[in-house]
Structure 1
Amino acid sequence: MLFALSVALAYILTNIDGLFAFLALSSSGRQRAILPGFLVAHAVVIAGSLLLGAGANFLAPETLGYLGIVPIVLGLWELWKQRQTSALDRTSSRSANSLVGATAIFLALSTDTFVLLAAIFADSRQDMDHFALLGAFVAVAFLLLMGSTLSRGLSKNQGIGRFFERLSPFVMIAAGIYILLDTTTDIL
């Protein structure tokens, strides 16, 4: 159960930018497209990462830990992008009036979560995958609840959004380092 909670926490922390995109878009009156788009995007992320993680069973076990390099690179990429422009500002300017548009926005913001969750599925024992799934579902429910609740009250506070947006790359880098250190690559 502790594993499920740690997966949920990692999922939530790598999706803070998605939460604030949810807040920004839903505060502009697009709730009918945002809510289903959020759910569809996360269903795709969870299903895709489970399939990718299961496919990793065919890889040599000593190479699985190197999947941790991907979240590190994504975290560094996000840090670089933050220096250029704000992801929240770019997301707010995109069209999200349709289910497809909202889903595309949330999928684009969930690539780090996808890679992290796929690495967790690939790196964990198969009997632990149901705990990872539980953690992912709990995280989506929590993000949805928080997004819906906060959109009513904090929709205009962009300072908080920028703080969590800046925190997200560091979470990715830390998760990647954890994956690198806590896998069969330890024996190399």
Structure 2
Amino acid sequence: MQLRLLGQAAGMFAVTNVDDLVVLALFFGQAAARRGGPARVVAGQYLGFGAILAASVAGALGAGFLPPAVVPYLGLLPLLLGLRAAWRTWRGGADDEREATVEHPGVLTVAAVTFANGGDNIGVYVPVFATAGAGTLIMFVVVFLVLAAVWCLVGRFLATRPSIASALARWGHVLLPLVLVGIGLAILLRLG
């Protein structure tokens, strides 16, 4: 059971943050020439992702005040976000967030872009967190924080491999809508 939950947490983190790998790779590429630049990118990533987690946990705790019959309908949020992301991809707007980079990113710049780029993550995390028990919620948060470090390592690796970064940029926007719709449907069907 715990191994399945760890896998679910890791999978949810990976699919909701796949687009963040491209952004991190860009930031690491821009920060490489500056002393302490990579450390600023990591700090900004944690600050921004920490804000996403805080907003998600707060939203989930607020959702705990909802009647139990209403909670499954929180699955509509990731479903709608997935459909919106699919629509934006189809209409050609998938690169909007990636254009928000600057030449030498600082901690606050990375945090702001991470938070803005991960705003849809909140919509996915809140219903999942709201339906999880306290122990499971804590496990999700810990796994997400550990995987944020892994994402930083992978982003730094990608910054030195342009062909890999190009492939992620090309296909990440296709995978994300599919996964969001899947998460939304799973919440609706599992709890509805």
User: Is there any run of 5+ residues in structure 1 with no aligned partner, and where?
Assistant: none
TM-score between both structures, scaled by the size of structure 2: 0.84
Q: How much identity, in percent, do the aligned residues show?
A: 23
Per-residue CA deviations over 1:54-105 (Å, capped at 9, x if unaligned) read: 1211110111111111111111111111123353465235436333222221
Residue of structure 1 aligned with 2:115, choices 107, 116, 128: 107
Aligned to 1:48: 55
User: Does residue 134 of the first structure (1) align with residue 136 of the second (2)?
Assistant: no
Moved more, 52-61 or 119-128: 119-128
Contact 1:21/1:88 (<8 A) preserved: no
Aligned to 2:75: 68
| CA–CA separation in structure 2 for the residues paired with 1:130 and 1:50 | 10
Residue of structure 1 aligned with 2:13, choices 11, 26, 44: 11
TM-score between both structures, scaled by the size of structure 1: 0.86
Aligned to 2:24: 22
Aligned to 1:58: 65
Moved more, 30-39 or 52-61: 30-39
Aligned to 2:92: 85
Q: 1:94 to 1:137 in 2, by over 3 A?
A: closer
- SS for the counterpart of 1:58 is coil
Q: 1:179 to 1:101 in 2, by over 3 A?
A: same
Contact 1:9/1:139 (<8 A) preserved: no
- SS for the counterpart of 2:105 is coil
**CA RMSD between the two structures:** 2.1
- SS for the counterpart of 2:70 is helix
Q: 1:160 to 1:97 in 2, by over 3 A?
A: closer
Aligned pairs, number: 184
User: Does residue 36 of the first structure (1) align with residue 28 of the second (2)?
Assistant: no
